[in-house]
Every structure is written in C-alpha cells, then in structure tokens.
Structure 1
Amino acid sequence: MGDISRRAVLGTCGTALTLGAGCLGDSTGSGNEPNSTDDGGSWESFRAGPSNAGIVETAAPRDEPAERWRIDLSPGPGTAAVSDGTAFLAAESALHALEVESGEELWTVEFETERTGSPAVTDDAVVCPVGDGLVAVDRDGAEKRRIPFDSGETNASLLSQQQARPGPSSSPTVVDGTVYVGTPDGDLVAVSLADESVTWRSAATAGWTTFSQAQQSEAVVSSPAVVDGRVIVGTEAGVAAFDAADGSSEWTYGTERAVRSSPAVADGTVYVGGSTPIAISMESGDLEWQSNDAFETMSGRQTRPWVDAANRQERTGMKPSVAVGEDIVVGHDPDDRLVALERSDGSTRWEAPLEGVESIAAATADSTAAMGAGSSARVEPMTTQLAPSWSSPAITGDVVVVGTTQGIVAVSVTDGEGLWRIPTESRVVASPAVADGTVVVGDDSGACYALDES
C-alpha cells in the first residue's frame, strides 16, 4: 500500500469526480428519525443503527483528511462498529478491537475457521454472525459465547452448497436485547441476548428456494431494519416485513430481482436500493415510488459489460445499501457512481461519477517520460477496469463518504460536488463507519484506516 501522502484531491467540477473530467446496539429506533445515533458519536452496526439509514449528525471532514492511523488486518475486513472510542472490525475469522484515538489493537478474538460478517455492538457485548449462529464477545474481549440457531427447515441442495462454501449470516441488528439476523439458509431469526436462545425463526419468503437453486447461489437475507415493532429485510424474492415480537409475517412486496441490499427506514417509509430503487410504505407494504432509470449510465445505457461479468463471477451475496438523509436517498451503483434521489418521488437530484482513475500527476509524469519533455500533447488519465465496489455510502452531516474501486471518496450532500479522495491499492468493499467525525474503513487487502481532520 502506498503512503497516504500519495493521495490526490479530486477536482471539483460540478458533480464530476473523475480526475480528468468528471450485517446492534441496545438502542431502540423511534421509527420517525432517519437514524438512531443522535450525536454522531457511535456507529453501532452495519448501517449505523436499527433503521439502517446509514447516517449520523457529526460530519466527516470536508477538506482532505489526515491519516490518524493505519493498521493491517486480515484481507477483506467488514464494516466497523464504533462505540465509546473503540472500533470493532471483523476480518475473515477474527474480531479485532481497536482504539480509535491511537489505532492500538486492544484485543483479538479468533472464531476458529469460520468466516464472520460485520459486527454490531451493545452496551456490554459485540455480536458477530458465524455460519449457523452468533458469537457474543464481551466488550473487553474476555469471554466469547456461541449462540447457535435452531436447525429449522433447510433445502438439502442449498445445504450441500453451504457445506462446501459456508457463508456467514447477515449483519445483526439489536433492539431491546434481541438480535435480529438473516441466516445463510434464507430464514430470519430473533435471538434473546439475556438467555442466549432463539426467540423465533421465520422463513423470509415462500419463493426464495427456487430462485436460489436457479442461480446456484446462497439464499441471502439482508441485514434487518428494526423500527416500531417491525423487522424488514430484503430477500431473494423481494422485501418482507415481520412482527418483531413473534416473527409473524405482516406483508411482502415482490420484486423482479433479488433484493441484496439492506432496506432503510425513515418517517414510515422503507427505502431499498439496487438497480431499480423503490420506496414502500412501512405500514402496508404498498409501493410509494419506483425509480426506473436511476442507475443508467451517463450515456443512457446500462452498466458496463465488465461489471456484469464481475457480478457473475463473484455471485456476491451483497449489494450497496442506500443512505437516507433529510430529503434525499443516496445510492452507490456498480459503475462507481453516487446517485441522490428525492425522498418524495425518487427523481434524481444529482449524480457523482467515482470512476477509478490514475492520479493526474502520475499519468502526466509517465506520459512525459514516454513522449519526451518537449512534447505538448495532452495526456488523459486512464480509467482502470476493476471488479465493482459494494461499499454503501454514509451520510455524515453535509458530507457523503463511500468506498470505491480505488479509494475512499467524499462528496457534498447538497450537490454531489467532489470534496476529496484517498487512494488505496485494493478496492474498498466495506462501508465507512463514521463516529465523532472520524472515518474508519478497511480495503480488500486488509489495510484499515482512521481518517479525520487532525
């Protein structure tokens, strides 16, 4: 990984960001606010809090940030949970606790050979998904406890696939001492932390098995949003809502494609990302709006062929989730763009391309050496075709932060104007966690950064 001093600030040119042109908390979301972390001092789960809105009040830096620290973990760290000055990150089969101020590694807990997903934090524990259960670790790392899921009914063919290539459950959400999590076999589970037992288990939808078999993929259930006594998840067949107390089905909304991003709830509306973003009434499950052209490319065509090829090769169980602000919904598409939609009707407010490009200085230097110092030919930065980033954006005050194929990028909430970019050698798949103005995020190589104004 190159030194942070290599970072290049994106030129601000309208909404253009290319250099030449352009799966916890013991909190209870009110259901009427777009987030549950009021002062921006914590980021308690994958999408900040139980509503999955991905928003905090304290803003990330508007100017190019400084590197507070960098630490190398196992490849592919997930999204951090941050609370009381400690960042908890899961990477492969380990959970790490890092002091946000210094980057000091306070403790590490190994989960044997099982992969784990993004953690969530409560007042006295950190909860991680591991295959067919959860692991709860004390906040000081002193004790870990495994909480298995009930066996339930699982499709035999799908179970065989999971044994060959086991995957973790969704990132957990906790409200009032109950953990809500989607399992690898397509169920939604509620687990009581008090007695470490399964309270209820429900099939997420009736149609997921057929779809999963046809696609030869895992039966993905998204990280749940839990608001006002409802649990809302994305599934292979659409969006589903359940009663948080007993797991009974309240409504389902069918979609043409699997919903592999986590629904977000604000002011009684469920917002779902993907190739066709939608807004659904949380009360009834009725469609409020659908944005059919939100993620078309700038030329009006669909995403580039290499993106589709990467999707097929990875068969990823995740896609970027939206962040919900006061009046906009911000999504990240596979072409590395941020798109802001009006919450009222889904119309596009602004677009911010984030394509991976070499720095202007590096491109100019290389071309000058090749052509000779006397040449006056114009040098265009070269785009680099990489597998897409699945990082979900975070709204922090008046700044949006997201990971991309080549770095960490910030834009203005108001108009998508580029603010800064910190380049990385590996793509950033994890979603940024922002607490007290500090951005904590890792890239695919395992490098984890804390960025702030200091």
Structure 2
Amino acid sequence: MDRGSVFGTPTLLVGVFVLASAGCRPTHPPSAGCGKDTDCKGDRICAEGSCVAPAADAEASEAVAEPVPVAPASAGQGERWFRGGPGHAGATTAVGPKTEPSERWRVDLGAVVFATPTLVTLPGAGGEGDAGRELAFVGNHAGRFVGVTVGGPEQPGGELVFDLDLGGRVWGTAALAETRDSARLYVGTDADTLFALDPSAKGEAAVVWSKVLGNCENTRSPGPEGARCDVDGGPTVGPDGDLFVGADGVYRLSPTGEERWHWPPREEKERPKHVFSTPVLSADGQLSFGDQDGHVTSLDAATGAQRWRYSVRADVDGSGVLGADGALFIGADDGRIYSLRSDGSLRWSFVAQRDIRSSLGIAADGTVYATSFDANLYSLAASGEVNWVLPTGGVVHSSPVVDGDGTIYFGSQDDHLYAVSAEGEVLWAVDVGADIDSSVAITKQGWIVIGCDDGSLRAFG
C-alpha cells in the first residue's frame, strides 16, 4: 500500500492520524458553492462544481418466470434479510466495546481475509464440548473456509473447528439461514460456484450442494470477462429461505439450489455484466443492486422482472441500504452516494473524493454512513446533508457497521481498527499491524471479530 498516494506525503498522513486518535472533532463540509447535490435545485446534481441534470434509464422488461412470491417476514425471520433486517446493511442489535479492547486471539489462515465473519451458534457445533458456543465462519483468498470458536469471559476462543477448501477465492460474506433444527451457510467463490454448507458437519460432508452459475467455463483469463460469472458477492436470504445472488446478472435460487429465475432474461442476446453488489430485498418485494455496467437496478423479487434502472456511469460494487421510507442509498466508483426513490428517481447524491466500494451502513435514526478510498468516513443525514467527515490514514474498503448503541466500527488500510461515536468522535483506534479491508462482526458478548490482509482472523474484547 502506498500511503503517500492518499495524503500526498507520509508526514501529512501521521498528522491526520494523530488528529483522529486524539478524539478531536471531525471536519464539516463548506456551506458555500456547489459542493454537494443539495446545493442544486430540484433533481439536478452537482458535477465538477456545476449543477447538471442526472442521467436515468427507466427500462421495463417482461416477466421472465412464473411468479414465486416472497413470503412475508414473520417473527424470528427478519434477521435473515441481509445483515440485520430488510435492507439495513451493517445494522446489528449487538453492542461493541466503547473503550479500547485488547486482542483476545488470532488465527493465521494463510491468505487475505476480505469477507466479514458470519457468527453462528449451533448446539454441539464442532463436537459435544462446543454445544452453545458461538463460532465465526469466514473464507479467504486461498479458497479456505473456516469456523473458529469465538470464546468469551471464561472461554479462550480461537479454536479452529471447521476447515474446508472451496477451490476458489472467497470475497463475499457467507449468508446464514436458520431453522429450529438446522442451519445453512451459503457462500460463493470466484470459481463461479455457490456452496450450501452445513456448519455442524466436518470436511466434505459439510457441502450440502454446490452450483456453478453462468456460462464462463472457458473464460478464466484475467479481466472483466474472466470475472463475469464469479460468485464473489454475498448472497441474500429471503424470509422464505430463497437466495438472491449476483454473478453474471442476478439469480433467485431455492434453498436446494433450484433456479427460480435469472436476470437479465436468458433470451436476451447481450451477455450480462458482472454483479458483485449484494442484492437488498425490501419488505414489498423489491430487489435492488448495483452492477459493473454502471447501473443501479431494481427487480420484482417474485418474477425477476425489471422495475427500473438508474445510470450512474460507474461501477457499483458496494451494497445499498434502505431507509424507513423505502429510499435506497448506495455508493459507486465515481465517489458518489446516491439516494434513489422506490420508483428509481433521484432524490440526491453526495460526492466524496474517491471510489466508494464498501456497503453502506445505516443507524436507527436514519443516518447513513459510508467509507471511501479517499480515507474518510462520512456521516450523512437521510436528507443528504453532511453531518461530519472523519479522516483516517489510508484507503478504506471496510464497510461501516453500526451497533445497537449507534457506534460505528470499521477498519482502514492505515492498519487501524476504529470505533467512532455517532457524533464523529474517535472512541478508540487499535493498531493491528496489517491492512483491514474486512468488516467487523460483533458477538453476543460484545467482542469484535475481523479479518486482516495479513491472513489473520482476530478477536478483540
């Protein structure tokens, strides 16, 4: 990592971090000039200091399959909808540490850990002695997928109890589907394959099924075509157990891997572009995601029919979040955060200085959080006004995770793990000695579990 490329000189980098770690106030944006879209009238947006009309596509498509309705969420099912609720990416009811934690354990997995750990509690997981213990499951860039005991006040944790070679690099976070009697983890690889795993089994017996997506068997060369069918974003599990996952387009699959529909429709001649973004499912059955064709797209989750597309003219790799009123917030490689109404029209957009490739986070009060390659953490009101901007000392790919108290946790390529208050104060910053592109998981007892680019999985508490 070339830190000097972020701030110009290493000396300036050190100064920025000292400011942050001292708990000083974050910076606030200037109020004059066209610095953000709310400075412009109507739906016009601010581009390079000038207010211009946005570009939008509203292309309708025909239904491509018999409708398979999405069952309404019932008690106990809501948490299965993409990271803590219907579209609320990064939100969690768990509460993380407010004072600087210490490292509880570290497990070397041998390759970059980019994905967010998925926390699972299984009766008897890993053997009779593990009954009721919480496990963290995550994959790495060598294709290794593991489960590690989290531990607690009277348990050391850090024990490897699940270890499986998936045969392809893992970028995405495993999705968890639980019933009263069983649990399934769904995770994809860049070998174009989606796996359904039994986290209580061992070795190859843990693979319940696997499915190759797309028609990229002979395109393993580097570049966009070679990556077109990669299953490298995390799946979303709907309230009825069906899966929504990106690869060469977007798929809806049954819990047993049966294809319900594929978008775009198979009869279309144009080869679909790659979708890395994890789809977000709303309570009314609208499925929204970004793609590497420069669009944000919304589908009818029951049929796969296209509702609308919005052109942003840049790759959209991160996943969005839904506000209380159904508005979608999503970031893109053009450095913008877009707020789109449920009909696909633009409410506002905000311009950061560099790419936003992380998933966005959202707090209970509607505040939206985003990290950027410009090394900043941004806090935005639901109306698009900037609350504050907090600098770090390196590129930030880690997604901001908001805990039950409203504290924001994320990692940076300045080798630090951060906890920041809702007011923008740095509560603590731990130097882990390695870049952090993974996002945090917060355990039931309030520990932080996170992956690092040095190939380690670590817990802090």
TM-score by length of 1: 0.72
Residues 74 and 132 of structure 1: CA distance in aligned 2, closer, same or farther (over 3 Å): same
Pairs within 5 Å for 1:23-62:
36-37=78-79, 47-62=83-98
Gaps of 5+ in 2: 1-17, 28-69, 122-133, 152-156
Shift of 1:221: 3.5
- Alpha-carbon distance in 1 for matches of 2:147, 2:432: 23
Shift of 1:327: 2.7
Corresponding residue number in structure 1 for 2:361: 323
Shift of 1:150: 5.3
SS of 2:26 mapped into structure 1: coil
1:266 aligns with 2:323: yes
- Alpha-carbon distance in 2 for matches of 1:117, 1:277: 22
Corresponding residue number in structure 1 for 2:421: 412
Pairs within 5 Å for 1:406-445:
406-413=415-422, 415-436=423-444, 437-445=446-454
- Alpha-carbon distance in 2 for matches of 1:204, 1:258: 21
Q: Deviations over 1:279-331 (max 9, x none)?
A: 1122x112122224xx2xxxxxx45xxxxxxx8xxxxxx81121011231111
Shift of 1:57: 2.6
1:83 aligns with 2:120: yes
Residues 121 and 246 of structure 1: CA distance in aligned 2, closer, same or farther (over 3 Å): same
- Alpha-carbon distance in 2 for matches of 1:113, 1:322: 26
1:178 aligns with 2:185: no
Identity value in percent: 24
1:188 aligns with 2:188: no
- Alpha-carbon distance in 2 for matches of 1:205, 1:289: 34
Residues 28 and 72 of structure 1: CA distance in aligned 2, closer, same or farther (over 3 Å): farther
Is the 1:429–1:443 Cα contact (8 Å) retained in structure 2?
yes
Equivalent residue letter for 2:159: E
Is the 2:86–2:281 Cα contact (8 Å) retained in structure 1?
yes
Corresponding residue number in structure 2 for 1:394: 401
- Alpha-carbon distance in 2 for matches of 1:75, 1:155: 25
Equivalent residue letter for 1:261: G
Pairs within 5 Å for 1:9-24:
10-15=21-26
SS of 2:250 mapped into structure 1: strand
Residues 208 and 442 of structure 1: CA distance in aligned 2, closer, same or farther (over 3 Å): farther
Corresponding residue number in structure 2 for 1:135: 195
SS of 2:317 mapped into structure 1: coil
* Segment drifting more, 391-400 vs 105-114: 105-114
Corresponding residue number in structure 1 for 2:313: 256
Q: Which residue of 106, 112, 115 corresponds with 2:167?
A: 112
1:240 aligns with 2:297: yes
Shift of 1:208: 13
- Alpha-carbon distance in 2 for matches of 1:99, 1:434: 14
Q: Deviations over 1:177-205 (max 9, x none)?
A: 1111000x3x1011111x32111111299
Equivalent residue letter for 2:327: T
Shift of 1:11: 1.1
Q: Deviations over 1:58-79 (max 9, x none)?
A: 3211110122221111322111
- Alpha-carbon distance in 1 for matches of 2:360, 2:26: 19
Shift of 1:162: 6.6
Corresponding residue number in structure 2 for 1:202: 263
Alignment root-mean-square deviation, CA = 3.4
Is the 2:148–2:161 Cα contact (8 Å) retained in structure 1?
yes
SS of 1:231 mapped into structure 2: strand
Equivalent residue letter for 1:119: A
Q: Deviations over 1:422-445 (max 9, x none)?
A: 112221111112232221111101
Is the 2:219–2:225 Cα contact (8 Å) retained in structure 1?
no
Q: Deviations over 1:243-276 (max 9, x none)?
A: 1112111111111222121111132111112311
- Alpha-carbon distance in 1 for matches of 2:411, 2:71: 28
- Alpha-carbon distance in 2 for matches of 1:322, 1:29: 25
Residues 263 and 64 of structure 1: CA distance in aligned 2, closer, same or farther (over 3 Å): same
SS of 2:315 mapped into structure 1: coil
Q: Deviations over 1:98-122 (max 9, x none)?
A: 1111121111111135545321111
Corresponding residue number in structure 1 for 2:109: 73
Residues 53 and 398 of structure 1: CA distance in aligned 2, closer, same or farther (over 3 Å): same
- Alpha-carbon distance in 2 for matches of 1:423, 1:132: 35
Q: Which residue of 372, 375, 381 corresponds with 1:333?
A: 372
- Alpha-carbon distance in 1 for matches of 2:275, 2:94: 32
1:285 aligns with 2:344: yes
- Alpha-carbon distance in 1 for matches of 2:250, 2:374: 31
- Alpha-carbon distance in 2 for matches of 1:208, 1:289: 34
Residues 251 and 156 of structure 1: CA distance in aligned 2, closer, same or farther (over 3 Å): farther
- Alpha-carbon distance in 1 for matches of 2:360, 2:257: 31
Residues 197 and 411 of structure 1: CA distance in aligned 2, closer, same or farther (over 3 Å): same
Equivalent residue letter for 1:232: S
- Alpha-carbon distance in 1 for matches of 2:429, 2:270: 41
Equivalent residue letter for 2:359: S
Equivalent residue letter for 2:199: R
1:97 aligns with 2:152: no
- Alpha-carbon distance in 2 for matches of 1:350, 1:162: 36
